[in-house]
Structure 1
Amino acid sequence: MKTMTTQLALLMQLSRRKSNMRLLIRFSMVLILFFALYTVLFHVLMLYEGRRYSWITGLYWTLTTMSTLGFGDITFSSDIGKFFSVVVLLSGIIFLLIILPFTFIQFFYAPWLDEQNKARAPRAVAESLSGHLIFTYFDAVAVNLIQKLGQYGINYVILTAELQKALDLHDQGYAVVVGDLDDPQTYHRLNIDRAAMVIVLNDDVASTNIIFTIREANANVVTVTNADADDSLDILEMAGSTHVLQFTKMLGQALARRVHGVSMKANVVGRFDQLLIAEAPVMRTWLQGKSLAESRLREVTGVTVVGIWEEGQFRIPGPQSLIGESTVLVLAGTEAQLDRFDRSIGGGREKQLNSGPVVVLGGGRVGMAVANTLKARDIDYRVVEKKTGIAAQDPHFIQGSAADLETLVKASIHETPSVIITTHDDNLNIYLTIYCRRLRPDVQIISRASLDRNINTLHRAGANLVMSYSSLVTATILNLLHPQKILMLSEGLNVFRTALNPKLENKALLDIQVRENTQCSVVAVKRGEDLIINPDPTIILEPGDELLLIGLAESEKKFIEKYPAPASTSPEP
């Protein structure tokens, strides 16, 4: 609890309010002048009525009348005296009941409250804080990333220049500091010399200034910056950003790579040393309708099926897992093994199984990235865009509403193998998913989700695959934060690395039953300088080995709880 002396000291320190204080003094002097004038007039009018009172009584009458208390013990009998009483009363209402409270709030209460709020909003982090992430922008992406950081015990701090926003975030339980984004001293108060990374997701112009300021405070800290415009890439790099990425373009490219019936090649979605993680659609291949045991993929190609995506749900496969039309296999292997897989299913060549073009709904930044990716792969496409200016850029663009049947027919909705929905409005994406599923029950629908909470809703609406913008940003940043420690893939699927728990030493993989106990799959064993990819189930785990596993975030947590790494070599996220 602050003492009264401290409270007064805070008010006295408000040098920026000197002009306001002068106004307050002027108002007080005017008010005193009115008190004196009315007191003198009181005596004059009372003498006119033949009565005499002391000066203290005159001041008493003036104050009681102006404050509207009106005890009634002293009153005028003449009309001019009563008129004077009305004037004093009205001026008292204006000065004491309106202007004075406003003045008090403006010059005393509001500054005091402002100082109290400033005191609640932290201006610096603890001196001991290190290895933390600094956010210069707070949005849904930051929320998703902060939640993921909490799973790995990584500290963070949000920097904002807005006091009220800082207070709101502070009340919600976020670690926040208020300060100017373009002041080097702000970043020193955030222990930037010991920070692991600064995440700058502001607009391009603001990001350039922020990066330049950060480099003035620290020349070596790792920064990750988003560039909305292509021209901003070079500018942000020149400003000093370590990693300049275009997340919307990355999302568009990822959406385009997931189109079924366009390429039978396995799409590499992550790399961990020599280990490659890939996803492969099986629609209309010889694998469709077979179980994993019947496919003999490991024996034929050397790759291991470490997971299966089935309509947005990831699961660890077993020998009897059936490969259906909409199944996407998650494969682990070397580059040579994936090449053998591609050749085994005819994936070395691009081929369009449907005669129609891919339909892209939305011509924004993500939609343009999808179109450019499809164009680079020589795949026919049609982009439906409502804005005339965008639609006029290319003959592949069709101007009109994506919810209009005539427009969709013109875009070849009845012939297309896939529909990609790219708008930033999740409500619209859900609507379009239901609409397209009704028009084409057999078509592949790929949708963008701006918020992770809408992923399941989009799947229920009929989307075969949903890719989240915030998950993509989170995965990219975490992969940059700790390379070769964790590799985040799509929709919460992780590859992670951990030292061997002592109770697993000198045991065969087959005997410890990792899949059954934790829903994770061992994709590699690191032994010294060697990386044993897709190890044989009979391999004996030796002291000092490290395991590379794949699984959902919940499965990873379950594995770490069941088989924690030795204390001296605890796994880093």
Structure 2
Amino acid sequence: MKFIPSQLLFLLQDRRARRNIRSLTEFTLFLFVLVVVYSYLFHVIMAHEGRDFSIITGFYWTLTVMSTLGFGDITFNSDLGRLFSIVVLLSGIIFLLVMLPFTFIQFFYAPWLEAQNKSRVPRFLPPEVDNHVIITCYDPIAIALIERLKQYGHAYVILEPEVQQALDLVDQGYRVLVGELDDSETYRRAQVEQAALVVALNDDMKNTSIVYTVREIAPHVPIVANADMEDSVDILSLAGCSHVFQFMNMLGQSLARRTLGARTRSNIIGRFENLVIAEAPAMRTPLVGQAIRETGLRPSTGINIVGLWNRGHFSLPRPETVIESSTVLVLAGSEEQLAAYSTYVGETDAVDSAPALILGGGRVGRAAVSTLKEQGMAYRIVEKNPRLSKDRENCVIGSAADHQTLIKAGINEAPSVFITTHNDDVNIYLTIYCRRLRPDIQIISRATLDRNISVLHAAGADLVMSHSSMAANTIINILTPDRVLMLTEGLNIFRCRVPAGLVGKTLLSSGIRETTGCSVIAVFREGSLHINPDPSELFTAADELLMIGTAQSERSFADKFPEKKGKFID
């Protein structure tokens, strides 16, 4: 009950609501006048019949007849009185039973419910809120980003101009603020001057407007924006955007770099000073079928295997782990060691290889083509929309679900197939289809939603890259420089001081990998980075560890060594 006055006050602040209440009041006054007139006529007709009743009785009779209760204790004897009763009854049905409820609901109850809902959505953030992330659009990238922000304890708010959409997000547990995206007052109420980052994920024109609006009141707040068109990159930068990304292009390039036909056997996915992290598909290399201890990689190249992906599942390497054709190795080392790895497993000749297939000629597919061209690798695009296929020489027009189209494109000889459509259901279907046609082909697929990553792996994809995860990881890496580096789906590099419980112990005796699932890939000592440290070296209190692992492994490390709580070091 204590909220009703505030909700009524909120209702009365709206001009349309005030106009509706005035109309309801006028109709109620009309009904009151009608009842008074009928009560007066009741006394006139009763006096004509020679009977006399009190004023209260006149109102009583009028209301019982208009409401159709009709107790029958007071009735007219003349035809004139009965005709008057019919008129009162019909007008009561029309005005009291039909128009009054409709008018009440239309002019008061419905606006009151709307005001009640609007009052649930915040329109400003408290002044003490700071170091938060402002997100201007709710989409798959925002969903993935919010999960990572929660993981690392960053506050956030989603700006939403539509009240109903904002209510839906509030009901789902998101922190939302209602306001127009091109209104500077919205960002003032969102405490933008105290924000850590503004993330603009709308279309290019809307993003440009957002950047200009934010820059008017917060010149120094970092802004990250997505650009759909190449020309928009410069425009957004000129508008004042700190970081502009073409996430679709980045996804296509990342997909293409993982093809088996490229000259290099590995793909760098992250850097930390002199340390590089790379993914290397084991398919069609001499490593397939060997246990890690049998490969001789570390003695021969200095590179360290710090993890293995197998159809979407990450695991730590053990000496007895057998490398399968579907395994993707996660390697850590210097660029020289990575080059030595490529020499050790043998490079391929991309020019003489059969063309890779790209199913879908949209933005992701075109970005993959650009990367394949840079690598000197042949390709074929399968696209059913002729307007998207500008490269007629290397394009096959037709549906990727048609067997003859895929045969014409070269499915029987292709080393890899990229599935790049924006529809996850289509991607799952094509993954199953291509796996049935070619059990030995490398299938690299795009996922729009994170929840479909595991489904695509189960359908037969060797590698799956999520557009939303890749974008969210990029934004998180900007927000937390030198603290955490998110590499790919759920795989992170993080940095922390050596816990007191590990001081004086060696890496071999620390049990970090066995108890937490994290791998130590480097040690900061006396201002220098020691990559792939000697397992027999002792940890000192001044050392800092650089570790790789999943989000769950990171939490396990914080639980195992509570003295530092897994705290990141700036």
Structure 1-normalised TM-score?
Answer: 0.92
Are residues 1:210 and 2:210 paired? Answer: yes
Partner of 1:338: 338
Tell me the matched-pair count.
570
Whole-Å separation in 2 of the counterparts to 1:115 and 1:333: 60
User: CA separation of 1:395/1:91 partners in 2, compared to 1, >3 Å: closer, same or farther?
Assistant: farther
Partner of 1:441: 439
Are residues 1:351 and 2:380 paired? Answer: no
Are residues 1:312 and 2:312 paired? Answer: yes
Would you say the 8 A contact 2:20–2:108 is kept in 1? no
Where has structure 1 moved over 6 Å in runs of 4 or more? none
Whole-Å separation in 2 of the counterparts to 1:80 and 1:471: 82
Which amino acid in structure 1 is aligned with residue 465 of structure 2?
A: M
Shift in Å, 1:3: 6.8
Whole-Å separation in 2 of the counterparts to 1:440 and 1:370: 21
Larger mean CA deviation between 512-521 and 35-44 belongs to 35-44
Three-state SS of the structure 1 residue aligned to 2:496 is strand
Which amino acid in structure 2 is aligned with residue 406 of structure 1?
A: Q
Are residues 1:243 and 2:240 paired? Answer: no
Would you say the 8 A contact 1:264–1:281 is kept in 2? no
Larger mean CA deviation between 38-47 and 523-532 belongs to 38-47
Are residues 1:199 and 2:202 paired? Answer: no
Give RMSD over aligned pairs. Answer: 2.5
Q: Once the two structures are superposed, what CA deviation does each residue of 1:463-493 show, in whole Å capped at 9, x if it has no partner?
A: 1111112211221111111112111112211
Partner of 1:458: 456
Shift in Å, 1:256: 0.9
Shift in Å, 1:14: 4.1
Which amino acid in structure 2 is aligned with residue 519 of structure 1?
A: G
Which amino acid in structure 2 is aligned with residue 322 of structure 1?
A: V
Shift in Å, 1:316: 1.4
Partner of 1:230: 230
Alignment of 1:111-190 (within 5 A): 111-190=111-190
Partner of 2:477: 479
Would you say the 8 A contact 1:262–1:353 is kept in 2? no
Partner of 1:378: 376
Partner of 2:542: 544
Would you say the 8 A contact 2:208–2:239 is kept in 1? yes
Whole-Å separation in 1 of the counterparts to 2:38 and 2:530: 99
Would you say the 8 A contact 1:304–1:332 is kept in 2? yes
Shift in Å, 1:41: 4.3
Three-state SS of the structure 2 residue aligned to 1:483 is coil
Whole-Å separation in 1 of the counterparts to 2:20 and 2:338: 74
Q: Once the two structures are superposed, what CA deviation does each residue of 1:540-563 show, in whole Å capped at 9, x if it has no partner?
A: 212211111111221122122213
Whole-Å separation in 2 of the counterparts to 1:436 and 1:391: 22
Identify which of 376, 384, 387 aligns with 2:385: 387
Would you say the 8 A contact 2:21–2:107 is kept in 1? yes
Would you say the 8 A contact 1:11–1:111 is kept in 2? yes
Partner of 1:412: 410
Partner of 1:27: 27
Which amino acid in structure 1 is aligned with residue 383 of structure 2?
A: E
Q: Once the two structures are superposed, what CA deviation does each residue of 1:187-240 show, in whole Å capped at 9, x if it has no partner?
A: 222222222112221222222222222112211111211112223222222222
User: CA separation of 1:566/1:53 partners in 2, compared to 1, >3 Å: closer, same or farther?
Assistant: closer
Three-state SS of the structure 2 residue aligned to 1:231 is helix
Three-state SS of the structure 2 residue aligned to 1:474 is helix
Unaligned residue ranges in structure 2 (runs of 5+): none
Three-state SS of the structure 1 residue aligned to 2:393 is coil
Partner of 2:258: 258
Shift in Å, 1:350: 4.4
Partner of 2:278: 278
Whole-Å separation in 2 of the counterparts to 1:22 and 1:406: 70
Larger mean CA deviation between 222-231 and 121-130 belongs to 121-130
Are residues 1:557 and 2:555 paired? Answer: yes
Three-state SS of the structure 2 residue aligned to 1:120 is coil
Which amino acid in structure 2 is aligned with residue 189 of structure 1?
A: R
Three-state SS of the structure 2 residue aligned to 1:280 is strand
Whole-Å separation in 2 of the counterparts to 1:456 and 1:168: 27
Partner of 2:291: 291
Are residues 1:365 and 2:363 paired? Answer: yes
Identify which of 518, 522, 526 aligns with 2:524: 526
Partner of 1:88: 88
Identify which of 418, 421, 424 aligns with 1:423: 421
Three-state SS of the structure 2 residue aligned to 1:544 is coil
Are residues 1:570 and 2:564 paired? Answer: no
Would you say the 8 A contact 2:255–2:368 is kept in 1? yes
Would you say the 8 A contact 1:264–1:345 is kept in 2? no
Unaligned residue ranges in structure 1 (runs of 5+): none
Whole-Å separation in 1 of the counterparts to 2:4 and 2:173: 29
Whole-Å separation in 1 of the counterparts to 2:569 and 2:92: 71
Which amino acid in structure 1 is aligned with residue 470 of structure 2?
A: L
Q: Once the two structures are superposed, what CA deviation does each residue of 1:247-270 show, in whole Å capped at 9, x if it has no partner?
A: 111111111111113333321110
Whole-Å separation in 1 of the counterparts to 2:438 and 2:3: 71
Which amino acid in structure 1 is aligned with residue 400 of structure 2?
A: A
Shift in Å, 1:130: 2.2
Would you say the 8 A contact 1:498–1:548 is kept in 2? yes
Shift in Å, 1:150: 2.1
Which amino acid in structure 2 is aligned with residue 182 of structure 1?
A: D
Whole-Å separation in 2 of the counterparts to 1:21 and 1:188: 33
Whole-Å separation in 1 of the counterparts to 2:190 and 2:443: 45
Larger mean CA deviation between 66-75 and 265-274 belongs to 66-75
Would you say the 8 A contact 1:10–1:112 is kept in 2? no
Whole-Å separation in 2 of the counterparts to 1:158 and 1:11: 25
Would you say the 8 A contact 1:497–1:548 is kept in 2? yes
Would you say the 8 A contact 1:158–1:177 is kept in 2? yes
Shift in Å, 1:410: 1.6
Shift in Å, 1:160: 1.6
Would you say the 8 A contact 1:185–1:217 is kept in 2? no
Are residues 1:63 and 2:63 paired? Answer: yes
Shift in Å, 1:432: 1.1
Whole-Å separation in 1 of the counterparts to 2:3 and 2:558: 50
Which amino acid in structure 2 is aligned with residue 125 of structure 1?
A: L
Three-state SS of the structure 1 residue aligned to 2:332 is strand
Shift in Å, 1:462: 1.0
Which amino acid in structure 2 is aligned with residue 184 of structure 1?
A: S
Whole-Å separation in 2 of the counterparts to 1:94 and 1:206: 51
Q: Once the two structures are superposed, what CA deviation does each residue of 1:434-481 show, in whole Å capped at 9, x if it has no partner?
A: 111111111111111122222122111111111112211221111111
Which amino acid in structure 2 is aligned with residue 274 of structure 1?
A: N
